[in-house]
Chains A and B, each alone.
Chain A
């Protein structure tokens, strides 16, 4: 069996307008590998092609180029979806069903027998905090409750790969924490979790690997820890400095950003910032502030999306 839970090669989707013939590459030449047992975050601005990409993994959208594989099986084959648990964004569960009936229906579609279904449903309703709501029709559920019962639906057949599209959408902070705890316990059990979320903090806190999709292409891919390892120091000094001092201290800085009468100088390491401080103090320039910095996923995301690749 493949070492990758998800593997795509040059995957692409081209939409062509029937009337005008106008073409849009929703996803373009995406080659991506998601290791088994990892937590993977897919990020990207609106319209980046994230949802189309996920739908191609599930064969709800047919690719125009390339291929997708789930645990080594062609994603177009229905049996490749046996190990997948999926929670879609903007889901519309049949509101005529009760929570119990909904879980029973989707589990049966996954091929589960009735006996294990009857055993699993109360366990999962308990897990997502809806034990008392199993017999209530879904039309009575709040958005957060629908999200939680949706997560239970995705977990019914004990999937090896969980694909979650905005799982915290509409969930209050307590519920969000609860969902994160559930996902963490699944991760510990070796379930591969593929998270499509616009909540960068959530992805940064939870995912080990990340890919940023922009305009249908992979703008950046890597381990979150490595991508956010861009540690350094930010030195804030007055904009007005004597002689060539500004040029001297800026020369060893990796970035120089003037704002409101001061300048932020970014240094990659402690030696470089100490050298700059020595030069400044020698000329009796007062230092406004000095702070250690860490690259956040948000910095990387913005840099990736706004043109260049992230230089971290």
Chain B
């Protein structure tokens, strides 16, 4: 088989795995659930949040037809609203995405289904990465829809085009991809949907606590301090990446991108481990 044919065949297979992941997400109402939620938020900004521009750069906001208060700076209003959306994506949005995706890996490992998949001329790595890619795309499309929708509505209502907000799309997808690597590892290792949700959500919860260096300095024991810092450096930094995104959105200076690299390293190592375990397992 020529090199070109080989690549073409690989693409056919990858597309098939990704499309199958989407079909399963549709059937489980995962995609539509996230889509409806995003649509509701977009509709909120479209119809229920009314911005009246007064004196050029100032505005008043009314929610559900009620005035919220004094005139505020329009540019600050846009940034704060976008920061609110970004915060939502990093907290509840991420939780929902992990919760919705957790079952999509164990489901392909079910007896009777996995044997048939493995009987096809596809490497196990290809199967797992295709499924992973499909999951990232499902969440990515929803995040892009929400962020672009809100961004457009705010821009059209205020006349302020603030593209920095769009960084929330890749940054949310990146963080989800890191957490999904952990979901995949747990799925492959334990085939437990419950644990595949609990552990990444646990990391999301402890991440803001671990990020507080003040707490680490208050710890009395040397070993405890070391353990705290080791956990902080080893685990994905949900809080820090969220803060970087917010700094971007609020046009603030980003102090360090180290949390991005270390989280990427975590995701890569965990995904490689998941592939290794999947390749060695008997089904």
Which residues of A pack against B, CB within 8 Å?
A: 55, 58-62, 78-82, 84, 86, 88, 90-94, 96-97, 101, 105-106, 108-114, 153, 163
Contacts and interface: CB of A to CB of B under 8 A. Distances in A.
Contact of A112 (B12, B123, B280, B283): B12
Contacts of B28: 96
Consensus secondary structure, chain B interface: helix
B283 to A, nearest CB: 5
Nearest to B112: A92
A91 B115 CA distance: 8
B13 interface: yes
| Shortest Cβ-Cβ A-B pairs, 7 listed | A96-B27, A92-B112, A108-B16, A86-B119, A109-B120, A111-B9, A81-B121
Chain B interface size range? 20 to 34
B116 A106 contact: yes
Interface stretch (B17-25, B133-141, B212-220): B17-25
Contacts of A91: 112-113, 115-116
A227 B15 CA distance: 49
A105 B16 CA distance: 6
B20 A88 contact: no
B110 A92 contact: yes
A86 B13 CA distance: 17
Interface in B57-112: 110-112
Contact of A108 (B15, B23, B115): B15
B283 A96 contact: no
A232 B236 CA distance: 77
A58 B115 contact: yes
Consensus secondary structure, chain A interface: loop
Contacts of A112: 12
B105 to A, nearest CB: 14
Given A91-B115, A106-B120, 16 more contacts: A60-B283, A62-B282, A80-B121, A81-B120, A81-B121, A92-B110, A92-B111, A93-B113, A94-B20, A97-B20, A108-B16, A109-B120, A109-B122, A111-B13, A153-B116, A163-B119
Nearest to B12: A108
B17 to A, nearest CB: 7
Contact of B20 (A58, A62, A105, A114): A105
A109 B14 CA distance: 8
B198 interface: no
A139 to B, nearest CB: 10
A113 B12 CA distance: 7
Contacts of B16: 105, 108-109
Contacts of B113: 91-94
Contact of B13 (A94, A96, A109): A109
Contacts of B112: 88, 90-92
A163 to B, nearest CB: 8
A81 B121 CA distance: 5
Contacts of B110: 92
Contacts of A93: 113, 116
Contacts of A96: 23-24, 26-28
B119 A88 contact: yes
Interface in B13-46: 13, 15-17, 19-20, 23-24, 26-28
A46 to B, nearest CB: 16
A109 B116 CA distance: 10
20 contacts: A55-B282, A55-B283, A60-B118, A60-B119, A81-B119, A81-B120, A86-B119, A90-B111, A90-B112, A92-B111, A92-B113, A93-B116, A96-B26, A97-B23, A106-B116, A108-B13, A108-B15, A109-B120, A112-B12, A163-B119
A78 B121 contact: yes
Contacts of A94: 20, 23-24, 113
A81 B17 CA distance: 18
Contact of A60 (B13, B19, B27, B115): B115
A108 B19 CA distance: 11
Interface string B264-283: 00000000000000001011
Contacts of B254: none
A199 B200 CA distance: 48
